[in-house]
Amino acid sequence: MKRGLLIWVPLAVFVALAALVLYGLFRPDNTVIRSALVGKPLPNFALAPIAPGKPGLAAADMKGGVRLLNVFGSWCIPCIAEAPQLMALKERGVEIDAIAIRDTGPAVQRFLNENGDPYARIGDDPRSQVQLSLGSSGVPETFVIDAQGKIALQHVGPINANDIDDILKAVEDAK
């Protein structure tokens, strides 16, 4: 009798694991990431310029008007995918600054030449120190910064065409 029950144990384990996997596949995603820094001032930073003809970036530059702060890398494939949306936001009057993560000047310049240049300033963050102080763990990430230099929104991942209206609303709400 014991042996008969032991034969069913692997099947029971398999069914339990399959049920767990199916639960994970079909439960709704929660893609909203709540940043601990939303509503708080930008951390203080000053980054040297990385691209020829572009000034560097400091937290003090982010005050006085609503702006986007885009964290990107020239080596980042999703950053290339979001470039047209950043250009569209620039065309709609949104001011955009950037932080280049672990990058080089020639690579950033090539990225801008090939994908468009929506940025007023680009700071060089060679060790990701400012990126981490912003609560950003990857690229791309975009922050809406209000006129007082506070973070109004953190958008994790590439901005796609469906995100443009939400970003514009966040910019308008931050005014």
Return the CATH number at 58: 3.40.30.10
What pLDDT score was predicted for residue 29?
58
Q: Evaluate whether residue 135 is within a structural domain.
A: yes
Q: How many domains does the chain have?
A: 1
Range of the domain at 139: 46-173
What pLDDT score was predicted for residue 26?
72
Tens-binned pLDDT, residue by residue, of the chain (175 aa): 566 667 777 777 788 787 777 777 776 555 445 667 888 999 999 999 999 899 999 999 988 899 999 999 999 999 999 999 999 999 999 999 999 999 999 999 999 999 999 999 999 999 999 999 998 888 999 999 999 999 999 999 999 999 999 999 999 999 8
Q: Evaluate whether residue 17 is within a structural domain.
A: no
Residue located via tokens 């300033």: 121
Residues β-bridged to residue 41: 150
Q: Evaluate whether residue 50 is within a structural domain.
A: yes
**What's at 65, amino acid-wise?**
G
End-to-end CA separation in angstroms for the chain: 75
What pLDDT score was predicted for residue 119?
97
What pLDDT score was predicted for residue 1?
54
Q: Evaluate whether residue 89 is within a structural domain.
A: yes
What pLDDT score was predicted for residue 126?
96
Task: Tell me the torsion sign for CA atoms 99, 139, 148, 170.
Answer: positive
**What's at 169, amino acid-wise?**
K
**Please, what is the angle between helix 77-91 and helix 164-173, to 10°?**
60
Q: Evaluate whether residue 88 is within a structural domain.
A: yes
What pTM value is reported for the model? Answer: 0.80
